[in-house]
Structure 1
Amino acid sequence: MIDLHFDESLIFCDLKAKDQEEVLKVMGNHLYEKNFVKESFIDAIIEREKTFPTGLPTSSNISVAIPHTDSVHVNKKAISLAILKDAVEFGIMGEQEAKTPVKIVFLLAIDKQNSHLKILQKLISIFQNEDVIKFLTTEKNKTLIKTKIIECLDLKEMN
């Protein structure tokens, strides 16, 4: 099991944003307000995304992004999820200059470098599951979304 905070308050359904930076600011500020991350997290995540983009096209034609940054900017491990009302452009992981229209964003606040690999592996398995991707883009009930993500990521249930 992965020990990582995730609850309904960290889920955004139909988030409206004009671009990638606005998505990251909204999600990052929310994590900051809940004391999961330091104030420096927001700028760090935006800068890292410029250098190491995290957009991933999927077989279901719905792109996802998994922005994350150095653990020095994190107070407590958490994950935030945004399903965007309209897709915004993110750079494609591992490709210079290429962009993809992202609809689902998993923002990771991880406190140890080795922790993120296990989480990333689990996230990749979600991205390869067309049924889960379709569920995330259509479901509006945050409790059902939380339950599905906890199940898929094998997270410890937080009360």
Structure 2
Amino acid sequence: MDYSLVETNLIVNDRKEALKHMSDLLQKRGLVKDGFFEAIIAREKRFPTGIATKFMGVAIPHTFEDYVNAAGIAIAVLPKPVVFKNMVTNDDLDVSIIFMLAVKDAKHQVSTLQKLGAVFQNPATLKNVFEANTKIEIVEIVRSILDEEKL
């Protein structure tokens, strides 16, 4: 995981602005191709990625591997939540942590999502990510869970 892909205190006005910022981070590192942001937005409209957890709302935006040069994950902690659509109910959901995936190999996507799902089921882990003061803390927490698995 790359520390430059982590935002500990991202202040944005809405979901689209958050997704644009995170897409730009991935693109600056050369991990995604032109069109990644637009593909993320289009996929969010059809298949929302907001997840209601016991601690807070999280989102896992991702799109097709066609838009990815190399695997990566961008993480943003939002002190002021933004509204995503709940993936189950399609209702509005305030999201405070976004895990944006650049998945290069589709066969790794399911296991990565399952491992992130374990994070979402553990309120203490989410709380630790949300309250982390540094990018290093967030990367260490997420790295220990993902086991540096290739996306």
1:103-118 to 2 correspondence within 5 Å? 103-118=96-111
Q: Among residues 60, 65, 69, which one is paired with 2:63 in the alignment? A: 69
1:140-155 to 2 correspondence within 5 Å? 140-155=133-148
SS of the residue 2:19 aligns to: helix
Post-superposition offset of 1:149: 0.7
Note if 1:133 corresponds to 2:126.
yes
Question: Please, which runs of 5 or more residues in structure 2 have no aligned partner?
Answer: none
Letter in 1 for 2:147: D
**Displaced runs of 4 or more, over 2 A:** none
Letter in 1 for 2:52: P
Q: CA RMSD in A?
A: 1.3
Post-superposition offset of 1:85: 2.0
Post-superposition offset of 1:94: 2.9
Q: Distance in 1 between matches of 2:107 and 2:86?
A: 23
Aligned residues: 150
Work out the percentage of aligned pairs sharing the same amino acid: 37
CA contact (8 A) 2:5 2:73 kept: yes
Question: Please, which runs of 5 or more residues in structure 1 have no aligned partner?
Answer: 1-5
Give the structure-2-normalised TM-score. Answer: 0.95
Give the structure-1-normalised TM-score. Answer: 0.91
SS of the residue 2:106 aligns to: coil
- 1:10 paired residue number: 5
Letter in 2 for 1:30: L
Post-superposition offset of 1:114: 1.5
